[in-house]
Amino acid sequence: MPADTGVEIAFAGRSNAGKSSALNTITQQKSLARTSKTPGRTQLINVFELSEGKRLIDLPGYGYAKVPEEMKLKWQAALSEYLQKRDSLKGLVVLMDIRHPLKDIDQQLLQWASDCELPVLALLTKCDKLKSGARKAEVLKVREAVAIFGGDIRVEAFSSLKGTGLDQARAILSEWLLQ
Ligand code: GTP
Ligand code: MG
């Protein structure tokens, strides 16, 4: 890992939620972060430096059942160490498939971020899979649900495929990166 100075924004979420795709879309790079149909593609903490001291971090997905137990423990350890110890971490993008948001593990992450006053942008990914009415209803439902965690959690629908929510995501990330 680079020295723990400057500003970092990490992309976290369950395996296959669309973290790497969102990172590519937001940075307008086709294949900066490797994406895949196979869950568990991102197996390391990948660091993308935007400019000096400004970094986006693609984290391995959590909750993927099919990796060997030993590996899973290693990732989890690396992930929680990163999240808990990284001083330069100034914002967390939590990605959840809009069709299955707020699984237990997502809720734990949101509660943790909120407890340590880390601002969160929750992106409800693959929103192109829902019709507009259902999409809006889901966003409202998740906004209401995350209110219980307290803290600064913003919720937006997002599609890497269609570019939905891209302007909002970029605006929030730029705000965090300016620190
Ligand atoms: P891991 O690295 O395995 O944890 O996955 P990830 O969260 O980085 O997901 P990734 O970006 O690799 O995407 C997983 C799958 O979802 C791929 O098949 C993508 O093409 C698909 N996907 C990602 N974003 C979207 C989206 O906005 N719309 C649709 N329809 N599919 C998407
Ligand atoms: Mg990935």
pLDDT one-digit tens code per residue, 102-149? 999 899 999 999 998 999 999 999 999 999 999 999 999 999 999 999
Lowest mean pLDDT among 42-51, 71-80, 146-155: 71-80
Q: How far apart are CA 43 and CA 3, in angstroms?
A: 21
Mean pLDDT value across residues 9-14: 94
What pLDDT is attached to residue 74?
76
Nearest CA to ligand 1 atom 10: 18
Ligand 1 midpoint to CA 34 (Å): 10
ipTM computed for the complex:
0.98
Domains delineated in the chain: 7-164 (3.40.50.300)
What pLDDT is attached to residue 60?
81
pLDDT(61) > 70 = yes
Mutation test residue for ligand 1: of 11, 14, 16, 46, the one with most atoms within 8 Å of CB: 16
What's the start-to-end Cα distance of the chain, in Å? Answer: 21
**Strand 120-125 versus strand 153-157 pairing type:** parallel
Q: How far apart are CA 25 and CA 53, in angstroms?
A: 21
Q: What share of the chain is helix, strand, coil (3-state, %, to 5)?
A: 40, 20, 40
* 83 vs 78 pLDDT, higher one: 83
Nearest CA to ligand 1 atom 18: 37
pLDDT(63) > 80 = no
What pLDDT is attached to residue 29?
78
Ligand 1 atom at shortest distance from the alpha carbon of 17: 7
Q: What percent of the chain stands above pLDDT 90?
A: 70
For ligand 1, is residue 24 a contact (CB within 6 Å)? no
Average pLDDT of the chain to the nearest whole number: 90
Mean pLDDT value across residues 46-63: 88
Q: What percent of the chain stands above pLDDT 70?
A: 91
Determine contact, residues 24/11, Cβ cutoff 8 Å.
no
